Structure 1
Amino acid sequence: MAKVKYYYDSETLSYKKIERKKGRRLGIAFLSILGVFLAAFVLVVIYLNLPQIETPKEKALKRELENMQLQYGILNRKMDQIQDVLGNIEDRDNNIYRLYFESNPIPEEQRRAGFGGINRYRNLEGYDNSKIIVETTQRMDILTKQLVVQSKSLDEITDLAKEKEQLLAAIPAIQPVKNEELKRIASGYGWRTDPFTKVKKYHYGMDFSAPRGTPVYATGDGRIERADNRSTGYGNHIRIDHGYGYVSLYAHLYKYNVRVGQRVKRGDVIGFVGSTGRSEAPHLHYEIYKDEERINPINFYYGNLSPAEYDQVLAKAQQENQSMD
């Protein structure tokens, strides 16, 4: 119940009841409400114009955001370093490794290809820092793809290296008779005088004059394809299949040191010099086949001769003298 208020009237010398006017009461109420709104507005304006006034939660979120931006910056700098290293590897891959192994370089458009089709980053959009997040994620995806391409390339290079190593081990690359065990290089590849008919005849190999029983060495890794005397003129002879189209032949042997089907390594003793078959004196007749065509063996002695020794062998092999078979 509202309190009734009175006032003292000096004329009538009595107390009279204070009557409140309706309009005044409404005005007071309106002014009170307006004051509240004005106070709230002033507080909002002050709050918005004084950013240093932050709640503890806002301060924590702000620190977290600044740390995230810092970490994204560090991540991008690390990706710059990774990109530099990857670029160096890609350059060596194309211009050294693949060049050495005679393989086509990886096209630049294949290395730098992006991601087409649908927007892969839609779920990262719509936030205050969406740009830095999308750009970093996209860059990471492209870098990952480049690493996958390079990894597959290095796997291929490894396979090529293994194959190249096998090829280099298989190609005939040394003299079948050591220099210190030679009497002389009797005849080379080309037109020579036949020792029996005394007419010019094409000589398809090289003759190494050496005492009977001198060791004969495999000139490359391979498998013994033949070890018999069933080929006209060659007498006891050995053929090694080196793979990659290469076959080496060793003729007029005194005896064998291998059997058919046996695997041999370069430098293994496979037989001994003799004078069997169509031979004038003890010597080794040596031939090389490439894709079933006989080629000049002089090009295959780089494995155990110095440049000076090779020049001497080359000079002797080019003399148009008489062959020994």
Structure 2
Amino acid sequence: MAKVKYYYDPKTLSYRKIEKTPAYRLRRSLFYLTSILLTSVLLYMVADSFIDSPKEKRLRRELDNMKIQYSILNERFDQVSDVLDDLQERDDNIYRTIFEAEPIPNSVRQAGFGGANRYKKLEGFENSELIKSTASRLDRITKEVYVQSKSFDEIVELAKDKSEFLASIPAIQPVANEDLKRMASGYGWRTDPFTKTRKYHHGMDFSAETGTPVYATGDGEVIRADSKSSGFGRHIRIDHGYGYITIYAHLNDYNIRVGQKVKRGDLIGFVGNTGRSRGPHLHYEVHLNGERLNPVNFYYGELTAEEFSRLIEMASQTNQSFD
């Protein structure tokens, strides 16, 4: 049975029964509906503030995962930076020192990127600073790697040139030790075998039997093989490049021709006694940019320390030359 409700009528000073008219019922229904709607909205707002939706949970997980990935990426950047620093240190203080090249200035290695803000499109997000700093670091490392790569390209070219240079320098004896009778005469003031006066000897004389092999002392090109030079008899001249020329004089015969390319250690001729000579021997000279140098300083390619010391001792004796 429905409850009967009353209201107080101040005019009659008595309670009167509430009549549930259609209008009354409509007002009550609207009141309840409004209350329910407001309550639902309030609950939704509370739930939206404190409880994530499935989509929000997924997006939040993706955001957390992104932060972890950026953290891992920056740790790898740290490792790459350490390796790059080591490469730069080696490049400036080892590789470039070896090949006599100027080190790359830090202003070039660590140069920034000019112009407008490169990272403006990354602004306005919740994690903009993290993204911008990571992008900036990536750009900087990419630039340093590029500079280092170009430096290594240059070092490779220097190494190729240095390799050719080292192969071209006269660096061995023109006559093997086992074929030598003795070191007849060294570089410097010696007694001329014909005039018996003091005369400057611009090469080294290797005493050996006629027909003893004579070897090229460095890579180069044969530019002369004739007997048209006064006093040398049959002789060979090799242009090694880089300003170096070697002369092999008083030969018995040739094993090469003019214009031929030779390598260090190639057989080029045979010891003889032609030209202005007092006995079978090889007269050997080293020229650099037109200046005649002491050949003894170029035998580092095959001699032991003991052999080199003995050779210097014999070459320094002020005896009579063979030519």
Inter-partner Cα distance in structure 2 for 1:286 and 1:175: 9
Tell me, yes or no, if structure 1 residue 324 matches structure 2 residue 322: yes
Structure 1 runs (4+) greater than 2 angstroms displaced:
16-20, 24-50
Which one of 119, 122, 127 corresponds to residue 120 of structure 2?
122
Tell me, yes or no, if structure 1 residue 101 matches structure 2 residue 93: no
What secondary structure, in the 3-state scheme, does the structure 1 residue paired with 2:222 have?
strand
Alignment partner, residue 13 of structure 1: none
Inter-partner Cα distance in structure 1 for 2:55 and 2:275: 102
Report the Cα offset of residue 18 of structure 1.
Answer: 5.2
Report the Cα offset of residue 108 of structure 1.
Answer: 1.4
Report the Cα offset of residue 43 of structure 1.
Answer: 2.4
Inter-partner Cα distance in structure 1 for 2:20 and 2:254: 143
Question: Percent same amino acid at aligned positions?
Answer: 58
Deviations 1:49-91 (A, max 9, x none): 53xx211100110111111111111111111111111111111
Alignment partner, residue 11 of structure 1: none
Which one of 228, 238, 241 corresponds to residue 240 of structure 1?
238
**Residue type at the aligned position of 2:43:** L
**Residue type at the aligned position of 2:96:** R
Distance 1:254 1:206, change over 3 A: same
Inter-partner Cα distance in structure 1 for 2:150 and 2:29: 82
Distance 1:47 1:321, change over 3 A: same
Distance 1:242 1:19, change over 3 A: closer
Inter-partner Cα distance in structure 1 for 2:253 and 2:182: 21
Alignment partner, residue 62 of structure 2: 64
Aligned residues: 308
Which one of 248, 251, 254 corresponds to residue 250 of structure 1?
248
Inter-partner Cα distance in structure 1 for 2:114 and 2:201: 64
Alignment partner, residue 288 of structure 1: 286
**Residue type at the aligned position of 1:43:** L
Alignment partner, residue 46 of structure 2: 46
Give the TM-score, by structure 2 length. Answer: 0.89
Gaps of 5+ in 1: 1-6, 8-15
Gaps of 5+ in 2: 1-5, 7-16
Which one of 296, 299, 305 corresponds to residue 298 of structure 1?
296
Inter-partner Cα distance in structure 1 for 2:20 and 2:78: 85
Deviations 1:264-302 (A, max 9, x none): 011011000011111111110000001111111010001
Report the Cα offset of residue 39 of structure 1.
Answer: 2.8
RMSD of aligned alpha carbons: 2.4
Which one of 101, 110, 113 corresponds to residue 111 of structure 2?
113
